[in-house]
């Protein structure tokens, strides 16, 4: 490390300051070395003290151009079954386009929106951002009206919609059943028509799980296609933000608005993501304008064998999705089975890769090594470890990950993280190889119907994390692999299936369509053709 000239006559760090740190680190220094390092560290402290203010560089909104009014926390009766976390009305006074003119949009409650609380689904940190997420600005620039923050699950680490600090989110087709997580509010609000569109975020399936369970379209875009700037991270190698809508064309439209580089997010290439490559709606329109049997002419669809071989997969789900896949043939697609054996180990690799980086980034707010916007005001409210009160504010999934972080940090360290990253590359390569032969891969989004939510008040009293998390075992088997690999993956509703607990209750299920990286348009085209030809609610 280079040395900064110490400030003359000023000693900031003393031997008394340094000795406890050395003891904690298991190090011993001679008095001469101690004297040298106190001087050097004093120089470091002087450099830190002289740093200029960073807040002048942050994307704070011009509130005269992007005014926001009517900020309020809705009552339970006004929350649309728990879907809303906070209400607001915000628009641009001079939009750059009318792509979203008059369309209402909800932001997931892990996104920064200046002046509006951002709970991230937890009471662990109280935070009102001073900046706007990039894509929030782009939505308003396109004429969209942001009307609130959608509830999200605790720390964005749950597939069940029962852990948010703002309350449980009900399935739009049956109260008492899961709406999916962690973008639970986004899924419900779109499904009920409370909002035209919503933004979700996806690290293990958090767009596609609620999309499947709420009967809407949800796209996890290619990793890096949509800037994640101004959104709370779970793990930068997994973070994706994307559209959640009632139909495929709206999904393409919202993606067109939010895709592209913003100059902040270090996962985005500085060139190549512009112009026609970011046009999606015209391709969707061109496909659905064709005759039914020709809409997918020339498209090769690979049915992922391992996507149907998940332990415990529900027979009704498998049958419904296979029937939906079969219908692609009637639209002109060439459909055949493909095997990617690495798909089966991908969830295990995802599990191993998450605790170390996710504990630092998601729980402790430490984005070390990332060249992107950092929430320094929120990070100032956290330390190198959680207090008891902060830990107690976590949901079952978040507390389980924090425990995993402590364990992995102590017992495995960087070697486990490195091993998982290497395996992720091999898994991603395997999907790439299959996608050389096929335009898209298809499989069920989720292996089972939406489960029942726990009884109100049970979580944390009669029900501990083990019982709660057992409800979602296997849920992300088909979703998390593509967070790891970065391929685009779209969830399309294809029918209803009976609830496991009550066959009289019918709940949505979905087909997942996976494409080549940066070829999100192929997922949209296949989904649009199927949607145009078939009404999933009547099948």
| pTM for this predicted structure | 0.96
Domain co-membership, 489 together with 413: yes
Task: For residues 7 and 134, state if they share a domain.
Answer: no
Say if residue 150 is in the same domain as residue 294.
yes
Catalytic residue among 42, 108, 161, 186: 108
182 is catalytic: yes
Token couple for 241: 């933000």
Starting from the edge strand earliest in sequence, which strands make up the sheet with 334-338, in order?
A: 68-72, 84-90, 145-150, 104-108, 197-201, 241-245, 217-220, 489-498, 506-515, 440-444, 300-304, 334-338
One domain, residues 500 and 483: yes
Residues 43 and 153 in one domain: no
Alpha carbon distance 308, 109 (integer Å)? 33
Determine which one of 161, 184, 194, 206 is catalytic.
206
CATH of the domain at 110: 3.90.1300.10
Q: Which of 183, 225, 447 is nearest to 318 (CA)?
A: 447
Same domain, 331 and 465: yes
**pLDDT of 136-176, one tens digit each?**
999 999 999 999 999 999 999 999 999 999 999 999 999 99
| Judgement on whether residues 369 and 460 belong to the same structural domain of the protein | yes
Residue with tokens 């939510």: 453
Secondary structure percentages of the chain, helix, strand, coil, to 5: 40, 15, 45
User: Which entry of 42, 155, 164, 182 is annotated as an active-site residue?
Assistant: 182
Domain boundary at 51, 72, 87, which? 51
**Which residue's structure tokens are 């997420």?**
133
Question: Same structural domain for residues 45 and 68?
Answer: no
Distances (CA, A) of 389 to 33, 122, 202, 366, 393: 40, 12, 27, 19, 6
What are the phi and psi torsion angles at 401 (to 5°)? Answer: -70, -35
Strand spans (E) along 18-155 = 68-72, 84-90, 104-108, 145-150
* Tokens found for residue 138: 């782009």
Q: Please confirm, yes or no, whether 108 is among the known catalytic residues.
A: yes
Instruction: Tell which of 15, 31, 51 closes a domain.
Output: 51
Number of domains composing the chain: 2
**pLDDT tens per residue across all 539 residues of the chain:** 555 555 555 558 999 999 999 999 999 999 999 999 998 998 888 888 888 998 888 989 999 999 999 999 999 999 999 999 999 999 999 999 999 999 999 999 999 999 999 999 999 999 999 999 999 999 999 999 999 999 999 999 999 999 999 999 999 999 999 999 999 999 999 999 999 999 999 999 999 999 999 999 999 999 999 999 999 999 999 999 999 999 999 999 999 999 999 999 999 987 778 888 899 999 999 999 999 999 999 999 999 999 999 999 999 999 999 999 999 999 999 999 999 999 999 999 999 999 999 999 999 999 888 888 999 999 999 999 999 999 999 999 999 999 999 999 999 999 999 999 999 999 999 999 999 999 999 999 999 999 999 998 898 888 999 999 999 999 999 999 999 999 999 999 999 999 999 999 999 999 999 999 999 999 999 999 999 999 999 99
Do 31 and 158 fall within a single domain?
A: no
**Domain interval for residue 256:** 59-538
Looking at the fold, whether 128 and 17 belong to one and the same domain comes out as no
The C-alpha atoms of residue 157 and residue 206 are separated, in whole angstroms, by 9
Nearest to 529, CA basis, from 295, 247, 293: 295
The b-or-e profile of 152-173 (16+ CB within 10 A means b, else e) is: bbbbbbbbbbbbbbbbbbbbbb
Residues 6+ apart with CB under 8 A from 8: none
- Strand 334-338 with 197-201, pairing: unpaired
CA pair distance 451, 500, nearest whole angstrom: 7
Say yes or no: 46 and 65 in one domain: no
Q: Does residue 65 share a domain with residue 45?
A: no
Reduce the secondary structure of 310-362 to three states and give it as a string: CCCCCHHHHHHHHHHHHHHHCCCCEEEEECCHHHHCHHHHHHHHHHHHHHHHH
């Amino acid at each position: 490390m280079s040395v900064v000239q110490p400030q003359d006559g000023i000693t900031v760090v003393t031997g008394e300051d340094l000795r406890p740190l050395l003891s904690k680190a298991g190090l011993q220094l001679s008095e001469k070395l101690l004297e040298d390092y106190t001087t050097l560290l004093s120089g470091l402290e002087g450099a830190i003290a002289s740093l200029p203010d960073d807040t002048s560089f942050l994307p704070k909104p011009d509130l005269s151009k992007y005014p926001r009014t009517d900020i309020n926390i809705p009552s339970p009766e006004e929350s649309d079954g728990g879907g809303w976390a906070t209400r607001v009305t915000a628009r641009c006074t001079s939009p750059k386009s009318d792509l979203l003119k008059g369309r209402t949009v909800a932001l997931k409650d892990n996104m920064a929106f200046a002046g509006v609380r951002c709970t991230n689904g937890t009471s662990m940190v109280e935070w009102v951002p001073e900046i706007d997420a990039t894509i929030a600005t782009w939505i308003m620039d396109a004429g969209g009206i942001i009307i609130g923050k959608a509830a999200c699950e605790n720390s964005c680490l749950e597939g069940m919609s029962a852990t948010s600090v703002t309350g449980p989110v009900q399935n739009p087709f049956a109260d008492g059943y899961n709406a999916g997580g962690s973008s639970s509010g986004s899924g419900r609000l779109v499904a009920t028509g409370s909002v035209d569109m919503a933004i979700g975020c996806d690290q293990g399936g958090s767009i596609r799980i609620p999309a499947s369970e709420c009967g809407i379209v949800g796209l996890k875009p290619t990793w890096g296609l949509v800037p994640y700037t101004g959104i709370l991270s779970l793990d930068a190698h997994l973070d994706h933000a994307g559209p959640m809508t009632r139909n495929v064309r709206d999904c393409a439209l919202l993606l067109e608005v939010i895709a592209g580089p913003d100059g902040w997010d270090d996962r985005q290439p500085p060139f190549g993501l512009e112009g026609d490559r970011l046009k999606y709606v015209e391709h969707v329109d061109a496909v659905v304008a064709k005759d039914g049997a020709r809409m997918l002419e020339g498209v090769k669809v690979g049915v992922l064998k391992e996507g149907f071989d998940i332990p415990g997969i529900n027979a009704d789900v498998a049958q419904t999705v296979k029937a939906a896949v079969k219908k692609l043939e009637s639209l002109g697609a060439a459909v055949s089975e493909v095997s990617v054996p690495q798909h089966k180990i991908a969830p295990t690799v995802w599990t191993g890769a998450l605790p170390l980086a996710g504990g630092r980034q998601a729980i402790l707010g430490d984005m070390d090594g990332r060249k992107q916007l950092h929430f320094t005001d929120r990070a100032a409210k956290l330390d190198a470890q959680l207090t008891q009160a902060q830990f107690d504010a976590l949901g079952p999934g978040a507390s389980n990950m924090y425990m995993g972080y402590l364990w992995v940090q102590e017992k495995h360290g960087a070697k486990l993280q490195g091993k998982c990253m290497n395996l992720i590359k091999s898994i991603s390569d395997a999907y790439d190889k299959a996608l050389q032969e096929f335009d898209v891969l298809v499989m069920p989004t989720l292996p089972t119907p939406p489960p029942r939510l726990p009884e109100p008040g049970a979580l944390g009293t009669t029900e501990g994390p083990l019982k709660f998390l057992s409800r979602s075992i296997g849920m992300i088997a088909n979703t998390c692999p593509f967070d790891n690999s970065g391929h685009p993956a779209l969830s399309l509703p294809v029918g209803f299936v009976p609830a496991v607990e009550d066959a009289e209750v019918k709940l949505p299920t979905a087909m997942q369509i996976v494409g080549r990286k940066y070829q999100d348009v192929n997922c949209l085209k296949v989904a649009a053709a199927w949607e145009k030809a078939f009404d999933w609610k009547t099948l």
